[in-house]
Chains A and B, each alone.
Chain A
Amino acid sequence: MTDTSNISITELSNDLRSAIAKLETTGNLNEVGVVLRVGDGVVWVRGLRNAGYNEVLQIETEEGIVEAFALNLMEDEIGAVLLGEDSKVKAGQTVRLKGSVLSVPVGTELLGRVVDPLGHAIDGGAAIKTKQQGLVEREAIGVMGRKSVHEPLMTGISAIDVMFPIGRGQRELIIGDRQTGKTALAIDTMINQAKQNTGVVNVYVAIGQKRSKIARLVERLKQEGVMEQTIIVATSPADPASLLYLAPYAATAMGEYFRDNSQHALMIYDDLTKHAVAYRQMSLLLRRPPGREAYPGDVFYLHSRLLERSAKLSDDLGAGSLTALPIIETQAGDISAYIPTNVISITDGQIFLETDLFYQGVRPAISAGLSVSRVGGAAQSGAIKSVSGGLKLGLSQFRELASFAQFGSDLDESTKNQIERGQRLTELLKQPQYKPMSIWEQAASILAVTSGYFDGVPADKIKAAQAAMLTRLWADHKKDMETLDTGSKPDDQIKRSDCSRSR
């Protein structure tokens, strides 16, 4: 045991007072640097030898303090990217270290709001005050903190839920040319979370999107009643490249709050092509050596460190999840370009949207052959799993056969049947925008077509037949359908009732 008899309270008090006085005085002498050059959103600073990577710098201008973050730490100077207007920053101004890396407000207070990457409200509402801050750059959860992806994240789009199931904690890339319905898929997934009452929080990151498009999106989400469980982090093409670069990281910090609090969040990065372009601009201005397509050498790391933060947490950490749906825009369907191949290799699968299919009226224009979900059946509900076997293969075979049949050659009976069933399936998988389907609707429809109960229905009447069947099923077997909607595997009785309605 420690002997306490020798401790003098007066001495202790004096020692503490002098220590406090010393600490207070040392705090006043700040390390400072000087702005050497500024331009295109990049500032070069002399001094600040103790600056850390990604540390926030404060530049004292006539109009107030402008912040920047250090990215290039070189022997003689620091290259930093401004987080705002560069018009007020001039050479010779004093620069200080903030002593912290970038952080943004996180918490439930952000739900229903549109914010910029620094967490400031841009929806005209009240200023956002949260109890917590989240680090913009944060290390991804380690191996032991994770659990394999096993819970489904229903998108409500039957083509995806049936053929390329997405699990909570998965990273599934949405890739395709411009105007092929990439954002529409993501928005429908967000709407489905509200319609099916899954409790998943949506975080939509608009990277360099037109403000009019963001306004339309917000309006739509409000109409659909999704906005209350959505956070939108928006940047426009007019914003500095630094904000476009920060947007996905800041949004991920906001999503991580829910993941770390045993909840589930869905991140939509729209899109990472623009993000890579913004990073290329910053890197070139920082005089980093350009590589392939003038992107810097660490462009892979740019996206891998971002997407690695999406995870399904272990039970010890609360079993929350962060699912990511990054979007990549291709040029003329070229998925072998630099950024698409990078992101394809990082993610756990991709949904490829084809322009040709889109203009043929197959919407969503999902390519059955080029799309894949590497998590697969592990993240599929029993109801969907029981009806989806062989569907993807059948559909890709049909598309191949259909293109072959265009030449008008004579086809044998079995090929003709396969083509006809494929046509029915294609028709069935067509889905209008903003109309996500529940589990029972998807399971019943797929079961009806794969079991051949729609074989007598012409392809152009399939949607009407499907609607009629679903109405009847809901009216006559509501209880069974509700059971099916919980995701459980359909028993024989449910299958029979489905079949009888189809007939």
Chain B
Amino acid sequence: MAKLSRRAIAQYAATQLTKSDERSTFILQLAAYLVTTRRTKELNLIIRDIQFYLSEAGSVSGSITSATELTLETKKAIETYIKQQTGATTVALDSLIDPSVIGGVKVNIPDYELDATVSRSLTVLRTRFKKA
């Protein structure tokens, strides 16, 4: 049997997860498939791909990274912005605190990113100076 692509597995899994009433049974089936085909190493990538297909189906999950805790208002504004941009119906964003971003905010959703952090600006600046 030809090896199924990661993308095909993820697409099928996303459809089943949104449809299926018995989610736990499907997860068990998927786990069994990965074990028998010796593809457990690809688990993280498959989860990312499932996340992508779920977001295409209207359910976006991701994270917001900032140097300090964001206010509820800001979080809400970001969620609205993500809804507008992706056309998603539900948006679930985890808040992460990372002082290395120095300032600003970074939003990660499957396959997309909004990086408005000071650390990113500094990296761009560093590269530009190196080139010159």
Contacts and interface: CB of A to CB of B under 8 A. Distances in A.
Q: Do A and B come from one complex?
A: yes
Interface of A: 25-26, 28-34, 36, 46-49, 60, 63-65, 75-76, 94, 120, 127
A33 B113 CA distance: 9
B113 A29 contact: yes
Interface centre among B48, B81, B116, B131 (most CB of A within 10 A): B131
A25 B113 contact: no
20 contacts: A25-B85, A26-B85, A29-B112, A29-B113, A30-B113, A31-B111, A32-B111, A32-B112, A47-B48, A47-B111, A60-B120, A63-B126, A64-B130, A65-B127, A75-B5, A76-B5, A76-B6, A76-B7, A94-B113, A120-B131
B123 interface: yes
A30 B7 contact: no
Given A36-B45, A46-B48, A127-B132, A30 B127 contact: no
A76 B56 CA distance: 17
B70 interface: no
B116 A28 contact: yes
Contacts of A63: 126
B114 interface: yes
Interface in B93-132: 108, 111-116, 120, 123-124, 126-127, 130-132
Interface residues of B, number: 24
Nearest to B110: A47
B48 A75 contact: no
A414 B105 CA distance: 93
Contacts of B131: 120
Contacts of B124: 65
Interface centre among A26, A47, A49, A63 (most CB of B within 10 A): A47
Contacts of A48: 111
Given A32-B113, A75-B7, A60 B123 contact: yes
A76 B6 CA distance: 6
Contacts of A31: 111-112
Contacts of B6: 75-76
A29 B85 contact: yes
Contacts of B130: 64
Contacts of B85: 25-26, 29
Given A28-B114, A32-B113, A64-B126, 4 more contacts: A32-B111, A49-B111, A60-B123, A75-B8
Given A26-B85, A76-B7, A64 B114 contact: no
Nearest to B10: A76
Interface in B57-104: 81, 84-85
A29 B81 CA distance: 10
A46 B48 CA distance: 10
Nearest to A32: B113
B7 to A, nearest CB: 5
A31 B48 CA distance: 14
B123 to A, nearest CB: 6
Contact of B123 (A34, A36, A65, A75): A65
A106 B6 CA distance: 42
Interface centre among B81, B84, B115, B116 (most CB of A within 10 A): B115
Nearest to A129: B132
B91 to A, nearest CB: 13
A48 B112 CA distance: 9
Contacts of B8: 75
Given A36-B45, A75-B7, A76-B5, A30 B115 contact: yes
A36 B5 CA distance: 16
A64 B5 contact: no
Nearest to B129: A64
A26 B114 CA distance: 10
A459 to B, nearest CB: 60
